[in-house]
Structure 1
Amino acid sequence: MAAYNTLTSPITECVILAGGLGTRLRSVVADVPKCMAPVHNKPFLAYIIAYLESYGIERFIFSLGYRHEVITQYLTMHFPRLNAELVVEEEPLGTGGAIKLCCEKTAGNNVIVANGDTLFKADIHVLAKIHLQHRADCTLTLKPMHNFDRYGVVELKEDDTVKSFKEKQFYKEGLINGGLYALNVQSFLNEDLPQKFSFEKDYLEALYHKRTMIGILQDAYFIDIGIPEDYERAQRELSI
């Protein structure tokens, strides 16, 4: 059972990107969306929901695509009281297009954004407060890692604004983008962005030098189940 935090985050809405195909997991997982890959007989998505609820997230907007009916049925059966809105892409829009579509459904002016195949147990209270204090367009949670080549690196300036994004290659150490954000909805929707685009490439990496983008270091538990090795690690490490 998740240990629930008694404080309420100043941001209580979350977008969860749950439309991933899970192509690299096909050798170990049935043909389901990545977020529905089972970990101890529960979809990985259940762990993400429990984590977000523990930080006072009250409303969930799910971005769905591939085999969306599987997720819809699961949420209906196992989370009947969850305050959830399901946004289904008629065609793949990329991470940016998916977030943009979901942001049109938000009630507040700031939202947490999480990936459906990544669990990063960063402190959402800290994320939200720093985001609001800086009046940031986007605030990224960054995970320190060692000896890796699967992720690019984010560098920060002394004032914690983003200095640069570096490409994927081998790094002895560095800060990676943990895939958990606080986003100013109106600022994001006002950007001149196409219907289909990558949030990482076409928004973060293209605009960080023109917008207020903050990075916060969070040395918390992180797992991305996008490859079989880490999916198997999730089986050893996670419980709910």
Structure 2
Amino acid sequence: MKAIIPVAGAGAKLRPHTYTQPKALIPIAGKTILSFIVDQLHEAGITEFVFIVGYLGEKIQEYVMQTYPELRTHFVYQNERQGTGHAIELTKNIVGDDEVFVVLGDTICDYDIKEVLDSPFSMLGIKKVDDPRNFGVASVNEEGFIEQVVEKPAIPKSNMALVGLYKIKESHFLYECLHQLLSQNIKTYGEYNLTDALDCMIKRGAKFKSFKVKSWFDCGKKETLLESNAILLKKFGANIISEHSFKDTIIVPPVSIAPGCNIENSIIGPNVAIGANTTINHSIIRDSIIGSYTNLFEVVLDNSLIGSDASVKGLSRSLNIGDNTEIDFG
């Protein structure tokens, strides 16, 4: 089985951070979004990965090659963003007839991955949501088989949203339906959509069973990214290198602090993730994500997202600052 991870999106809702950093490499709970996905699949036994890259794709490739040298990896460039269906279609020659597990590049979920991989059926991950109109929506029968999937329906038939996890056994069938979408120019909301290809497979007799995810961590925009960071920190606990020594500093867990940080005269936490080689002095930080090589002095941060190589000085409350930024509130 091969894993396919589309990470070609520009991440517009997370700007200014995604001007200089792919969304998949945004830090969360001491790791990157992409690492949560790859680690989960690798630990389940998948060793071959296909990454669909585009915007800042060279950074994704460099990160994967450095972090996961033991994996067999392929990089496919989606130069024009024409939807998830178009992205997956680009992987046809690499996948061949192998089974595939598609995980969207901003999808961190808690689920029984072994149960999914061991199932004799193709599987789609679902979760009940209050308003399914912004998601792919699945209609599921009493046996748990999926009868229909529709992308962002105006009047949803169910409240079961597709979460971005797709195990597909009949990959040749998938690529036939993707080819049909592209050749007949069948688009939804202006894009070739993977949901439409899956519905094509169902209509032509493919069997898809649903599986429910325990948790679905939304990493699409600042507010939900910070919420997900807090939940994941609580779930996995603190991650602070033992040789750290923070002078006159109070740590309120859960907190993740990467190596090389210098923190003095500060209060850190709860729910704070700090990247490597960051310096913090005379500051109070809670419910925030701080990038690497960043300098913070005399700041009070709450529900903030600070990029890498940034510098912030002076009193503040809630910020959303991208990489390579310098701000002085003095």
Q: 1:115 is matched with which residue: 104, 111, 115?
A: 104
After TM superposition, the score normalised by the length of structure 2 is 0.60
Indicate the larger mover: 83-92 or 47-56: 83-92
Corresponding residue number in structure 2 for 1:198: 193
Which residue identity does 1:181 align to in structure 2? Y
TM-superposed deviation, 1:41 = 5.1
- Separation in structure 2 between the aligned mates of residue 31 and residue 169 of structure 1, nearest angstrom: 35
For 1:113, what is the secondary structure of its paired residue?
strand
Q: Deviations over 1:147-193 (max 9, x none)?
A: 6664353221234332334645799x832111101122111123323
Which letter maps to 1:194?
L
Task: Determine the structure 1 residue equivalent to 2:50.
Answer: 61
Which SS does the other structure have where 1:142 is aligned?
Answer: strand
Query: Judging changes above 3 Å, is the alpha-carbon distance between structure 1 residues 228 and 170 closer, same or farther for their aligned structure 2 residues?
Result: farther
Which position in structure 2 is the counterpart of 1:231? 225
Q: Which residue does 1:52 correspond to in 2?
A: 41
The yes-or-no answer on 1:88 pairing with 2:77 is: yes
Q: Which segments of 5 or more consecutive residues in structure 1 lack a partner in the other structure? A: 1-11
> What letter corresponds to residue 162 of structure 2 in structure 1?
N
Q: Which residue of 1 aligns with 2:139?
A: 155
Task: Work out whether residues 84 and 193 of structure 2, in 8 Å CA contact, stay in contact via their aligned partners in 1.
Answer: yes
Q: Structure 1 237/103 Cα, relative in aligned 2: closer, same or farther at 3 Å?
A: farther
1:16 pairs with one of 5, 27, 35: 5
In the alignment, the residues of structure 2 paired with residue 29 and residue 140 of structure 1 have an alpha-carbon distance, to the nearest angstrom, of 29
Which structure 2 residues correspond to residues 157-196 of structure 1 after superposition, within 5 A? Answer: 157-165=141-149, 167=152, 174-183=159-168, 184-191=170-177, 192-194=180-182
Deviations 1:204-234 (A, max 9, x none): 3455333324232324221121122211112
Change (3 A) 1:85 1:152: closer
Match of 1:145 in 2: 129
The range that moved more, 189-198 or 62-71, is: 189-198
Give the root-mean-square deviation of aligned CA atoms: 2.7
SS of aligned partner of 1:212: coil
Distance 1:78 1:186, change over 3 A: same
Look up the match of 2:27: 38
For the Cα contact (< 8 Å) 2:109–2:213, is it kept in 1? no
The answer for the alignment partner of 2:305 in structure 1 is none
Aligned residues: 222
Which region of structure 1 is more displaced relative to structure 2, 160-169 or 212-221?
160-169
Secondary structure of 1:141's match? strand
Return the letter of the residue paired with 1:182: K
Q: More displaced, 19-28 or 113-122? A: 19-28
- Letter aligned with residue 198 of structure 1: N
TM-score, normalised to structure 1, is: 0.79
Contact kept, 8 Å, 2:97 with 2:172, in 1: the verdict is: no
CA distance in 2 between partners of 1:92 and 1:185 (Å):
22
For residues 80 and 96 of structure 1, do their structure 2 counterparts lie closer, same or farther at Cα, with a shift above 3 Å needed?
Answer: same
Is residue 214 from structure 1 mapped to residue 216 from structure 2 by the alignment? no
Q: Give the conservation status (yes or no) of the 8 Å contact 2:96–2:172.
A: no
SS at match of 1:154: strand
Residues 34 and 149 (structure 1 numbering): CA distance in 2 closer, same or farther, change over 3 Å?
A: same
Q: Which has the higher contact order (CA 8 A, sep 6+)?
A: 1
CA distance in 2 between partners of 1:116 and 1:87 (Å): 14
Matched residue SS, 1:194: helix
Percent of pairs with identical residues: 24
State the SS of the aligned residue for 2:46.
coil
CA–CA distance in structure 2, aligned partners of residues 97 and 37 of structure 1: 25
Structure 1 residues 230 and 213, CA, compared in 2 at 3 Å: closer, same or farther? farther
One-letter code of the match for 2:79?
E
Unaligned runs of 5+ in 2: 184-190, 237-330
After superposition, the Cα gap between the structure-2 partners of 1:218 and 1:102, relative to the gap in structure 1 and judged at 3 Å, is: same
Q: Which of these two proteins has the greater Rg computed from alpha carbons?
A: 2
